[in-house]
Amino acid sequence: MPADIPYHCQTSHLEGKLAKREQPNTFSMDRYRGEDRPSNVPGTYDFYISPGDATRASLRSQRQGHIQVQSWEEDDVVNAVVATLEAIFGPEERNVQQLINVVSSRGASKAKHQLKAVKYAPGYQLTFSLFSGDASNGVRQWKMQEAINVYLAPFIKSMSVVSKFTVESQVQHYASLTFKPQLDSDLNEHYLHPDTLPNFINAAEWSLASTVSSLPSLNFLVYVPKLSESPLVIKSGPAASHSSTNSFLIPRWGGIAILNRNNDTFSSPEIITIQELEPVMSIFLMQLRDLMGLADLSSTSVSSFPITFHKSANAAPTAWELDNLLRRRAAENVVDSLATLTSLARLVTDTPNMVVLDHIQKDVVDALRDVERSCRRLSEQGYIEAIEASRDGLVKSETAFFDPTMVSMLYFPDEHKYAIYMPLFVPISVPLLMGLLREAKKWKEAKKSAA
């Protein structure tokens, strides 16, 4: 595959110069024309520059930013803008370059965010499950549907430009653990050691598979322990501190939160209310962000001056985060498509007897066209079309690679052919060879007698 792919944010192209003015400067990062521009176009970001007592930057949830510069000299203003752009887009560019380098070197390592995030799909099934230890805790139902509408709906609506979501919930009683939690007698509480968390899910008894959808499933589980094991916390030992969230994430699968309840404080202890679910939903929202691959720009950016990233009021992803996710997901799909096609080409080259049918060739050609279209739309800031084209290219490349005719040839080398056909042809060939030898001997004797 090529050393790199056409991948341009278009946001680092500043056309025009920053002129010193009495009033703050306003410019658009991809086209400078001196006028205010709307920031609702993906890949187009409006920055407002003004003098201040110190150099700092602030990014709003929509595609707008404010840079205050201490020195109003032209070079200092340009350096502040460049440093801000590097802090925002530098980590993204390095992640994509790392992805390209890994595939180019046929490596298996992946970036940290890729190990947590699920593989891109146009749709996901979100399953929220309540597992109650036994009837002693009094839990009968929960207000999960209302909690989803209040806490999760804004996030799902904003993410619909990337993937669609369907949501279901379930309640299961008498969901016992596969092991007994340890007791901290000093604090009168039970705890789970982090080493036991991989065995937390009781796969033999807990029903987690969705029967209503074929989409990739993400599971979010609330566990209410039985009274004899409550309160239940996560910590590494009796003297250790508790987990701040009392939850944990399972990469590419989902998240689990443990909910300890004091029935004496509730008027209806059999119902888990929306207020009780608020901290749990906040945890699930953060876990869902990690699973979807949303980058936390505030934790990845590095700059010599402070940069403030403002969050959305309703916890939905910001426009910066959505653009970042769309570009990165499209780039991942493009690189995965090229890697799959490269593996297919290598397979065909290494297996001369392999028959490649016409429809496989068509899938390969169409996949390459989709990859090219995705790269072109990325460079044109058409991120929605880019991710759709990259998804089509990935599907077609995998369809070609895993075609049944290709798989059968892959696991049917020449040695297998010899093993199958020799028992058939050897018994037939022996009499034929013996007959040929007899005829050759008679022919020689006839020739000798004639002489």
Cβ count within 10 A of residue 244: 7
Report the candidate in 444, 286, 376, 379 with the shortest Cα–Cα distance to residue 9: 379
The confidence band for 25, taking pLDDT boundaries of 50, 70 and 90, is very low
- Per-residue pLDDT at 106: 56
Report the candidate in 321, 393, 302, 256 with the shortest Cα–Cα distance to residue 113: 321
Could you give the C-alpha distances from 173 to 96, 127, 177, 362, in angstroms and in order?
A: 45, 16, 12, 52
User: What's the order of all strands across the beta sheet hosting 164-172?
Assistant: 164-172, 123-132, 217-224, 254-258, 247-250
pTM: 0.77
Distance between terminal CA atoms of the chain?
72
Contact 216, 118 (CB under 8 A): yes
Report the candidate in 332, 344, 343, 407 with the shortest Cα–Cα distance to residue 371: 332
> What are the tens digits of pLDDT across the range 351-382?
777 778 899 999 999 999 999 999 999 988 89
Please report how the helices 319-350 and 358-379 are oriented relative to each other, as an axis angle in degrees rounded to 10: 150
Contact 252, 287 (CB under 8 A): no
The confidence band for 34, taking pLDDT boundaries of 50, 70 and 90, is very low
Report the candidate in 28, 26, 33 with the shortest Cα–Cα distance to residue 12: 28
Contact 31, 15 (CB under 8 A): yes
Average pLDDT (16-35) is 36
Report the candidate in 104, 152, 146, 106 with the shortest Cα–Cα distance to residue 126: 152
> What are the tens digits of pLDDT across the range 241-251?
888 899 999 99
Average pLDDT (302-311) is 86
Rounded to an integer, what is the distance from CA 8 to the centroid of its chain?
21
- Per-residue pLDDT at 435: 87
Task: Evaluate the omega torsion of the peptide bond into residue 238 and state whether it is cis, within 30 degrees of 0.
Answer: no
- The C-alpha atoms of residue 169 and residue 258 are separated, in whole angstroms, by 17
Structure-token pair, residue 321: 């985060």
The residue count of the chain comes to 451
Rounded to an integer, what is the distance from CA 100 to the centroid of its chain?
16
The helix (H) or strand (E) run that includes residue 339 is helix 319-350
- The C-alpha atoms of residue 324 and residue 356 are separated, in whole angstroms, by 38
Average pLDDT (276-304) is 88
Structure-token pair, residue 205: 């008894």
Average pLDDT, the chain: 81
Report the candidate in 287, 268, 182 with the shortest Cα–Cα distance to residue 229: 182
Tell me the one-letter amino acid at 213: S
Examine the pLDDT at 235 and tell me if it is beyond 70.
yes
- The C-alpha atoms of residue 325 and residue 294 are separated, in whole angstroms, by 6
Report the candidate in 368, 344, 340, 342 with the shortest Cα–Cα distance to residue 354: 344
- Show the CA angle centred on residue 86, arms to residues 321 and 107, nearest 5°: 75
Q: In the chain, pLDDT over 70 holds for what percent of residues?
A: 84
Structure-token pair, residue 257: 């939160």
Q: Is the dihedral of CA 328, 329, 331, 336 positive or negative?
A: positive
Structure-token pair, residue 445: 């004797």
- The C-alpha atoms of residue 287 and residue 292 are separated, in whole angstroms, by 9
Torsion (CA) 326, 330, 333, 336 in degrees, nearest 10: -120
The confidence band for 148, taking pLDDT boundaries of 50, 70 and 90, is very high
Structure-token pair, residue 383: 């991120």
Examine the pLDDT at 13 and tell me if it is beyond 50.
no
Compare 425 and 79 and report the one with higher pLDDT: 79
- The C-alpha atoms of residue 390 and residue 381 are separated, in whole angstroms, by 14
Query: Which residues, in sequence order, are CB contacts of 267 under 8 Å at separation 6+?
Result: none
Could you give the C-alpha distances from 217 to 120, 125, 132, 254, in angstroms and in order?
A: 12, 5, 22, 9
